[in-house]
Structure 1
Amino acid sequence: MRVRDIMTSPVHTVRQNASVESAAELMTARSVTALPVVDADGALVGMVSEGDLLRHQVPADPATGAETVPALDPVDRQTMVVQVMSAYPLATTPRTDVAEVAEVMLQNDVRSLPVLDARTVVGIISRRDILRALVRSDGLLTREVQHRLDEYADGRRRWTATVEGGVATVAGDFDDETERTVVTVLTRTVAGVSAVKLAAPAAS
């Protein structure tokens, strides 16, 4: 399974010179916990999370080490994202294996990674995305693959799909190599499918 199969795309980003208040509003409105931070050219320069914003708004009391809750003044509201973000964030690509991404997240204690194509942010992948893909049963995957193939065949059952251990087997006849490629791609894009095998139809 590749990152492109389960990442969230398009992704919401925030400019580095945006206010922390606007970043918090965007996170709340979009129900996300982190945002890639980009510069004026759209290149990734950092990540800002709920934790970053909370640390900015709820600093520790230097005398006791306990957190205090300061009143927000106009200066606080104008603090820019670049001042609180995590710079030089870890990132991944659409073609990276999800298992590698999961290992990086665990080793570095991060909950999400921006997905880059060259320097452009094309998505974001989180621990929740990975877990959601892993818990999908073979039966559920079989039904989803079959539904996509039936839709492509205008409602006809031209191919029969089965999924075992995340590997999808599609049995049936193909008119040409183009059709074989289309069916393979349609099957492979189902989140949770790790590989595709094409097979001849069972003998009657």
Structure 2
Amino acid sequence: MRVKDIMSSPVYTVLQTASVESAAKVLTARSVTALPVLDTTGRLVGMVGEGDLLWHRVPADPTAHIQRLLDTDPESRPGMVVEVMSAYPITTRPEADVADVAGAMLDNDIRSIPVLEDGTVVGIISRRDILRAMVRGDDVLTAEVQHRLDEYGDGHRWTVIVEGGVAHVSGTFDDETEQGIVVVLARTVPGVAAVDVGAAGPVGG
């Protein structure tokens, strides 16, 4: 399965010069947990998430408000996104394997990764996107793969049964090229881990 199959696009972004409050409003209004941060040219410069915003707005020490009253500069807390964002974010590509992205998320303890194509943010993929794709039932996957193959074959030329995320395709193929196309079509369905076309054996996604 590829990132482009399950990423969210278009993606909500925020400028690095935007206020922390405006970024918080976007997160809340759009029900997302993180936003890619762009400079004025549209280049990705960071990521800002709920944790970044809360870290500078909600004190861990319940007596911190007393200290703030004693501070000589009560307005010193960060005001712009660039001051709280995480710079140099991990990124991925539309054609990347979702399994690799999931591994990067776990290794780096991050919940979402921006998707770049030619230096432009074209989407974002989150743990929620991956989980949603993985937990779909075999019956739903069977129907989706069957539909794609029926459209390609202009009729019911192949029969699909998905078991445990593996799509088993039965039927005959005109040649290896056609078989390859069927495998690719089946693999593009989010949640399909591998494709079995009989003698050719399972092909991983």
| TM-score (norm: length of structure 1) | 0.77
**Equivalence for 2:87:** 87
Query: Is the aligned partner of 1:158 residue 2:157?
Result: yes
Which runs of no fewer than 5 residues in structure 1 stay unpaired? Answer: none
Change in 2 beyond 3 A, CA 1:165/1:66:
farther
Aligned partner letter, 1:194: A
1: CA distance, partners of 2:45 / 2:124: 14
Count of residue correspondences: 194
Please say if residues 142 and 163 of structure 1, whose CA atoms lie closer than 8 Å, have aligned partners that are also in contact: yes
Aligned partner letter, 1:27: L
Please say if residues 92 and 116 of structure 1, whose CA atoms lie closer than 8 Å, have aligned partners that are also in contact: yes
Matches within 5 A, 1:67-82: 79-82=79-82
Aligned partner letter, 1:49: G
**Equivalence for 1:47:** 47
2: CA distance, partners of 1:195 / 1:178: 18
Shift of 1:137: 2.8
Identity of aligned residues (%): 67
Shift of 1:198: 4.7
* SS of match in other structure, 2:56: helix
**Equivalence for 1:137:** 137
2: CA distance, partners of 1:9 / 1:188: 20
Q: Deviations over 1:48-78 (max 9, x none)?
A: 00111112222445x95689999xxxx7999
Shift of 1:23: 1.3
Query: Is the aligned partner of 1:118 residue 2:92?
Result: no
2: CA distance, partners of 1:69 / 1:175: 75
Query: Is the aligned partner of 1:7 residue 2:16?
Result: no
* SS of match in other structure, 2:26: helix
Please say if residues 58 and 69 of structure 1, whose CA atoms lie closer than 8 Å, have aligned partners that are also in contact: no
> Which piece of structure 1 moves more, 187-196 or 41-50?
187-196
Change in 2 beyond 3 A, CA 1:78/1:85:
closer
Which runs of no fewer than 5 residues in structure 2 stay unpaired? Answer: 70-74, 200-205
* SS of match in other structure, 1:57: coil
Change in 2 beyond 3 A, CA 1:48/1:145:
same
Aligned partner letter, 1:32: V
Shift of 1:171: 3.4
Change in 2 beyond 3 A, CA 1:44/1:141:
same
2: CA distance, partners of 1:68 / 1:174: 75
| TM-score (norm: length of structure 2) | 0.76
**Equivalence for 2:167:** 168
**Equivalence for 1:189:** 188
2: CA distance, partners of 1:136 / 1:68: 51
2: CA distance, partners of 1:83 / 1:199: 56
> Which piece of structure 1 moves more, 174-183 or 156-165?
174-183
Query: Is the aligned partner of 1:128 residue 2:146?
Result: no
Please say if residues 21 and 77 of structure 1, whose CA atoms lie closer than 8 Å, have aligned partners that are also in contact: no
